[in-house]
Amino acid sequence: MKKLAMLPVLACSLLLFFAHSAVAQTGSPDSPPLNELLKQEEDVRLARQSLVEAERTYGVNHVKVAEELEKIATVYEKQRKYAAAEHFLRRALKIREAELGENHIEVAAALRNFGELYLEQGKYAAAEPLFKRALVIEANTHGPDSLKLVAPLIRLAELQESQRQFVVAIQLHERALAIREKTLGPDHRDLDGSLMQLAHLHQVIGQYDEAEALLKRALALREKTFGAESSAVKVALFNLALVYQVQGFNAEAEALLKRALIIDEKGGSDQPGALTPIFYLAKLYESQHRYPAAEDMHKRALAIAEKAYGADHAEVAKVLENLTDLYRGQGKFAEALPVAKRSLGIKEKVYGPNQAEVARCLNNLALIQIGLAQYADAEQSLNRALKIEETNYGSDHPNVAKVLDTLSDLYKKQGKAELSVWADTRAKQIRRNWR
């Protein structure tokens, strides 16, 4: 499913409308290279020159001027000068409304441009009324059953989903699906996206029967359109398996995951795409306490990841962590220890020794060391993890609390009651502060 952009909102003063002195700011470590800054300045200069010519030729309130204003806004948006972009888009919208009427289809397009600018900044509440107004105009222009409404409906549904308005998002996707069914027929390949998106949303809110029905329909459509052994079918099988698994229908889930895995294997037994069904098969076996079968799956995934990515890749570390969790969950701390240490070593190489991923590995390693009564080693691992988390997030972050929980357990096992209480109290205080 396509995700809405969530780019950071950058502070931008009104001076950005007319000042173009960014070249002088190249001392900032986050500034673009000088040649990029020069190109940005040139883009603004040319866009403004075109605007002046359009105003001179057509007058300041002509639709041609609105087009030039939108071009300038696009340049500013690329530079993430959002306040400046908004200024020019607002003026363009007012011109179109005045010259064409508030319900003209070009006004709908201008509203969408404005809405997308807000989305890029994560301003969902500001974007929503613009998209809704545009949709009304488009429905009145094209008719309520036009295929031209499908994309706007889906975009608005994505916006609602980003705000966790799942029921509203479902209603919008259902409307898009109904239009496609009426216009294209019930078995057209273009229905696939609506079916999959609706299934996802029903699954999110726990409506598994609805999700299952939609996924079965999508699966049949993909088998007919792409073939029974296509990657599209594999994805539908995988999603349907997850719906079964979350309901405890393990036999049905296992059969679908195995079929998805077979599709991957036909492309080669060591394809990275096989890692996902293998992982979920392993987790399924773990939930059924079929630990040898789960271990076989994790080891198979490890061999695939090592061959595909190399022995020191982050994907290999992920597989090693899964194997570590399997061993630790069974109390097999001696088997878990070398696997956890290898995962930690890879994370240190990939991310550096002082990153949050390393701290998480250190905390997991400490849990194993505690299980082996290697208390001095565990304390060393936890103190290092604590320092990393505090450096990255500050002393009052939930990640810090998680390390303190483990540290409290360690001190308790060592009979260090006062230190155990200190760590536990501090962890609880951090969580209270975050409520």
Average pLDDT over residues 406-429: 96
For residue 51, the 8-state DSSP code is H
Q: Is the pLDDT of residue 83 over 90?
A: yes
Only one residue has tokens 């200024």, namely: 87
Reported as a single tens digit per residue, the pLDDT across 179-212 is 999 999 999 999 999 999 999 999 999 999 999 9
Distance between start and end Cα atoms, the chain: 31
Q: Is the pLDDT of residue 9 over 60?
A: no
pLDDT confidence of residue 2: 37
Least confident window among 30-34, 39-43, 195-199: 30-34
CB count within 10 Å of CB 82 equals: 22
Q: Which two tokens stand for residue 417?
A: 């009651």
For residue 358, the 8-state DSSP code is H
Q: What's the angle, vertex CA 151, arms to CA 147 and CA 157, rounded to 5?
A: 125
Under DSSP, is residue 238 helix (H, G, I), strand (E, B) or coil? helix
Only one residue has tokens 């002393």, namely: 395
Under DSSP, is residue 311 helix (H, G, I), strand (E, B) or coil? coil
Q: Is the pLDDT of residue 220 over 90?
A: yes
Mean pLDDT, the chain, rounded, equals 88
DSSP calls for 183-198: HH-TT-GGGHHHHHHH
Q: Which two tokens stand for residue 386?
A: 């604590």
Helix or strand (DSSP H, E) at 145: none
Number of H helices, E strands in the chain: 19, 0
Asked if 1 and 70 count as a contact pair (C-beta separation under 8 A), the reply is no
Q: Is the pLDDT of residue 40 over 90?
A: no
Q: How large is the C-alpha radius of gyration of the chain?
A: 28
Least confident window among 56-60, 279-283, 361-365: 56-60
Residues 6+ apart with CB under 8 A from 125: 163
pLDDT confidence of residue 126: 93
Percent of the chain past pLDDT 90, that is, above it, reads 74
Using pLDDT thresholds of 50, 70 and 90, give the confidence band for residue 72.
confident
pLDDT confidence of residue 100: 93
Q: Is the pLDDT of residue 20 over 80?
A: no
Using pLDDT thresholds of 50, 70 and 90, give the confidence band for residue 15.
very low
Distance CA 181, CA 384 (A): 58
**Domains contained in the chain, CATH given:** 1-142 (1.25.40.10), 352-435 (1.25.40.10)
Under DSSP, is residue 27 helix (H, G, I), strand (E, B) or coil? coil
Using pLDDT thresholds of 50, 70 and 90, give the confidence band for residue 16.
very low
Using pLDDT thresholds of 50, 70 and 90, give the confidence band for residue 1.
very low
pLDDT confidence of residue 32: 56
Phi, psi of 19 (to 5 degrees): -90, 135
